[in-house]
Chain A
Amino acid sequence: RTLTKKKDKMSNLVEEYFEAHSSSKVLTSDRTLQKLRRKRLDQQTLRDLLQKSSLAYAAEIKELNQQYESLFSKWMLQLHLGFNIVLYGLGSKHDLLEKFRTSLLQDSVHLVVNGYFPSITVKSVLNSITEEVLDHIGTFRSPLDQLEFIMKRFKEDSSLELYVLIHNLDSQMLRGERSQQILAQLSSLPSIYLIASIDHINAPLMWDQAKQSLYNWLWYETTTFSPYVEETSYENSLLVQQSGSLALSSLMHVLHSLTPNARGIFRLLAQYQLENKDNPSYPGLSFQDFYQQCREAFLVNSDLTLRAQLTEFRDHKLIRTKRGADGVEYLLIPVDDSTLTDFLEKEDEDV
């Protein structure tokens, strides 16, 4: 009897546990930004405001920075000994790296990569090496070929030296597996010296053992507490009214959260738009044509689903509809062509 009692008690406990946890809705308040007394600022006023306000603890921050600046020559030594340097810690490291560049690298060839720049790709990094550093005219079939070419040139010509500074190696656009692989292989060349900064808390997860050994990192903590002015100037926020077109990174971000079919639909539209990019009078794809194409690709099964999908796109400002002279709805992607090309290339890589 005691056993059954115990059992009862146990099951009660279990039930209570699940009851307590199943009903636990996360309590959030229902207040929205509309209720704020102050209206949302646009970017210009925000920048003005920021310039007016002074930085707190400027003296201490300056002292910290001086501490890090005393390490510069040591960094150079270690770069030359085959290590690469990665900086981490709270605060923007942009100014520190810039100081490093202006004080030590003036007399040597160097490449600065702004990883936080939303349309940056690893291809643009490779391009600037081949075109501007190596003075090579010509195109490559793939980034891998390009990398091979660069590696060959650097191995052949021992007088070539290149310092690469990457602000935010862990940015949205560079954190992909392929980009990191290519950058790691670049950095493993003995005459390419890489110094990079990371900010994301999970940035070290980008590198597996193989990449880490290619990078051959030496870690340096540089907590600067300086504001991320440059880095966040491309970042969107609900509190700031946005203007301008979609950047590649936000485009990728939204598309990644969609179903495969929805991505296929968007791809179709993007491809069509690129095909017609040379045609100045191209009004966009009419809804009927688009529907036909989607059906042929087995992406939608009815008029309704496509319309629902398009509504979603419209909510995310991924497409724009325009009514033509003949009253037909035309669909357009309000993104410039180069971004769209980059997007399609990225998509191809992912697939």
Chain B
Amino acid sequence: MSARSLSKGCFVFKPSPKKRKVSQTTADYFREGSSDLEDSELRFATCQSLWKQVKSETEEIEEELNEQLFDNLVSFLRRSHSAFQEKTTEWTHRMKSREIPTAALVLGVNVTDHDFTFRSLSEFLQNSVTPYVALLEAKDCPGIKKLMQKLLGQLMNCCVDVDSSEEEDYEQVSHNRIRCSMTSLISWHGIQSFLFCCLLFINAHPMALKRTDTETPGKKRTSSRHWLSPPVVVIFKDMESFTTKVLQDFVVISSQHIGELPLVLIFGIATSPMIIHSLLPHSVSSLLCIELFQSLSCKDHLSTIIDKVLLTTQFPLKLSEKVLQVLINIFLYHDFSVQNFIKGFQLCIVEHFHSNPLSILCCQLEEAKMRVNSLSHNQCENIRRLPSFRRYVESQVSEKQIALLTADSSLKIRELHCACLENRVWETEEYESSLQLARMLNKSDLVTMLQKCVEILVSSPGKEFDEIVEKLKEFLTQFQKLEEVYQERDETVSPQKELQKKTDLYHLQKTLLELKESRRSKKLTKFEMLRFEVVDHIDSLVRRYLVPADHKTLHEIVYFNAASVLREHLNAAPRIALHTALNNPYSYLKSEALKSDGGSISNKAPDICIAYKLHLECGRLINLVDWLEAFSTVVTAAEGPTAQAASSDQVDDVIQYPFPFLPQ
């Protein structure tokens, strides 16, 4: 069975039914691929549960962030709809001018994240405002026909979804659906009449429902009743990719029927609201009554996610600095997409648990303790092999060294201790940022910065870390005392500042220099002493607790630091790979014969590399004959010393062969 044919391009292979066994689960593949067989199942389970936690957490965060926007949208919907119901002057005015209430949602260029936003938006609307929500995508609506079909299908499905819990209902709806699809078939020719029928149906439908409601008085009172006639919300997910004509037609047609049908449009806009006016001509855009809504910027979104997912104690897996850098770079320089960031994080989790046999200990502390106690001998060997553990051993006394290297039990106790230590370190990770600010005080004396730092310190232990080291609290009180001192100091500083403000940049620099010098020469003031004291404290603190993760013993368990893997799989560069393969085949084919110095054309290289280099030497246009000849010159030089005897005819034949393999 091979997938080769001259008349066919697609081949389906089905296993014979008796041969078909229970297909392997994901865990099986995990076990096959991972280096250590012992506890891959547990590892996989840990990995999956961690990923699930992260996923639900990020989704929660996303929903929280969107809440404000959705609330605004709902209040907009209610407002425009109540106007319709009460037939206020505003609405009658609107009806005369046939304006459709429209919400323009400016979402930003990260198209990949919009999916989730819209899904939760339509859910939210369905729950709180109206059962009639249709979500249209440009790729499904190349023409107005398709658009109406899609819209109707979705609206009817919506009705079925929300209303159907009684069988009678269901029958009626499905019956209606068939009729409507028939009417839609019949009335292709006149879109106007077609739309009218559908609108009639949509309007008639709640009435029909109500009748069944009164007939069978049950607890189910649909929202349609509550709303009298709920608005029909049509969401255009990606406004930019719709064709102008479709949008125009839809707006014009629906504006004709706005009197009978309470329609509200929501446009999802990736660029700027100007696009509405460039997509729709004035005559059409004047039919819309647009209100703008701004979504949260993706940068804020990402920073909340980093804060709440990566920098908390809740999730045991941490990213090393380099990995985080790669992820953030992809975000900032390429796509601004939070989804892709999370995808990268998922890949990190998978890679970590897949490649690292000790990742089994990457879980909450209590569980880790249990797992440590049940570690096998092999696993202990693995621990001993870790570079960070070696370093730790080297720093210990010799007796202990021997004990650590041979007896598993003592190792386990050590390990637990290390794990505790580790925990504490990453608990204080948020500190790092604040303390870096403090360290900057050495250079510039911005008092405000220190105050800010104090604020962060005050807020962080209070909110998140209860079991923080006692000492820190002491320092905190000292900080608070200091603050008072600073304020005094501030007053004395202020005249100097005023002075600085008046002078221009050059003078400012000069005065600053002078100030610096004077300070240096001056004996330490009270402020200076205090400052140095603080910095020393912080310094010692930093030294003790915040050594970079790499220096910690057993950091490998909780830190994922294969940045290159991540970059390779997420942000690949096929061009570079092709170029290096063609230019320097040695980097792939580790053959001594291929080792050569950069520029020259080696005649031992694979044919395709020779042809590529000759092609690089030419200009824009290449004469095939000359190219062929140059190629044969290079290759015969290669064959010359070995095979003189071959007839030149034969050689030429063979030499022509690489060329058909090059694209035309």
Contacts and interface: CB of A to CB of B under 8 A. Distances in A.
- Chain A complexes with chain B: yes
B663 A64 contact: no
A115 B11 CA distance: 12
Given A209-B111, A216-B343, A112 B626 contact: no
Given A32-B625, A111-B10, A124-B10, A90 B578 contact: yes
A201 B620 contact: no
Contact of A201 (B8, B140, B574, B657): B574
A5 interface: no
B569 interface: yes
Contact of A218 (B569, B589, B606, B656): B569
Contacts of A209: 110-112, 335, 337
Q: Is the interface of A mostly helix, strand, loop or mixed?
A: mixed
Contacts of A52: 654
Contacts of A31: 623, 625-626
A161 B139 contact: no
A28 B664 contact: no
A146 to B, nearest CB: 13
B11 A223 contact: no
A66 to B, nearest CB: 13
B4 interface: yes
A80 B606 contact: no
Contact of B654 (A53, A78, A98, A112): A53
Interface in A186-225: 198, 201, 203-204, 208-210, 212-213, 216, 218-221, 223, 225
Interface string A129-164: 100110000000000100000000000000001000
B202 interface: no
B657 A107 contact: no
Contacts of A264: none
B274 to A, nearest CB: 21
B29 A73 contact: yes
A1 interface: no
Interface stretch (A229-237, A276-284, A286-294, A303-311): A229-237
Interface in B96-149: 110-112, 115, 139-140, 146
A111 B589 contact: no
B541 interface: no
Contact of A210 (B111, B581, B590): B111
B33 A74 contact: yes
A268 interface: no
Contacts of B343: 216
B659 A73 contact: no
A90 B581 contact: yes
Contacts, number: 210
A76 interface: yes
Interface string B74-102: 00000000000000000000000000000
B664 A235 contact: yes
Interface string A57-72: 1001101100000000
Contacts of B622: 28
Contacts of A38: 649, 652-653, 656
A108 B115 CA distance: 31
B26 A81 contact: yes
Contacts of B654: 49, 52-53
A107 B581 contact: no
A117 interface: yes
Given A38-B656, A60-B589, A109-B13, A213 B624 contact: no
Contacts of B146: 144
A100 interface: no
A238 B624 contact: yes
Interface in A79-121: 80-81, 83, 88-91, 98, 101, 105-115, 117, 119-120
A36 B140 contact: no
B581 A223 contact: yes
Contacts of A61: 589
B573 to A, nearest CB: 9
B323 to A, nearest CB: 16
A336 B404 CA distance: 78
A3 interface: no
A64 B588 contact: yes
Given A73-B29, A204-B574, A219-B570, A240 B660 contact: yes
Nearest to B582: A90
B621 A26 contact: yes
A298 interface: no
Contact of A128 (B10, B29, B115): B10
A32 B625 CA distance: 6
A221 B573 CA distance: 9
B623 A111 contact: no
A186 B252 CA distance: 34
A29 B625 contact: yes
B190 to A, nearest CB: 20
A111 B653 CA distance: 39
Contacts of B652: 37-38
A78 to B, nearest CB: 7
Contacts of B14: 109, 132-133
Contact of B10 (A64, A113, A239): A113
Interface in B332-356: 335, 337, 339-340, 343, 346-347, 350, 354
A49 B657 contact: yes
A216 B569 CA distance: 11
Given A53-B654, A90-B581, A90-B582, A98 B3 contact: yes
Nearest to B139: A181
Given A41-B653, A49-B653, A237-B659, A28 B29 contact: no
B354 A227 contact: no
Interface in B588-638: 588-591, 594, 606-608, 619-626, 628
A112 to B, nearest CB: 4
Contacts of B9: 113-115, 117, 119-120, 124
B33 A28 contact: no
A53 to B, nearest CB: 6
Nearest to A133: B12
B577 interface: yes
B46 to A, nearest CB: 14
Contacts of A91: 581
A35 interface: yes
A78 B349 CA distance: 12
A56 interface: yes
B33 A73 contact: yes
Contact of A225 (B335, B606, B657, B662): B606
B556 to A, nearest CB: 20
B8, B9, B570, B657: residue with the most chain A Cβ atoms closer than 10 Å = B9
Interface stretch (B15-23, B282-290, B448-456, B516-524): B15-23
B347, B607, B621, B653: residue with the most chain A Cβ atoms closer than 10 Å = B653
Contacts of A10: none
B151 to A, nearest CB: 15
A144 B146 CA distance: 10
B367 interface: no
Contacts of B23: 107-108, 161
Contacts of A161: 23
Given A113-B10, A218-B569, A239-B660, 13 more contacts: A27-B619, A38-B656, A41-B656, A57-B606, A60-B590, A77-B350, A81-B26, A107-B19, A107-B23, A114-B4, A128-B10, A132-B12, A210-B238
Which 7 residue pairs of A and B lie closest in terms of their CB atoms, listed nearest first?
Answer: A219-B572, A117-B9, A120-B9, A90-B581, A213-B112, A73-B33, A60-B589
17 contacts: A60-B590, A76-B24, A77-B29, A77-B354, A89-B574, A90-B577, A90-B581, A90-B608, A107-B19, A107-B21, A109-B13, A111-B10, A132-B14, A212-B112, A219-B571, A232-B661, A235-B660
Interface of A: 26-29, 31-33, 35-38, 41, 46, 49-50, 52-53, 56-57, 60-61, 63-64, 73-74, 76-78, 80-81, 83, 88-91, 98, 101, 105-115, 117, 119-120, 124-125, 127-129, 132-133, 144, 161, 181, 198, 201, 203-204, 208-210, 212-213, 216, 218-221, 223, 225, 227-228, 230, 232, 235-240
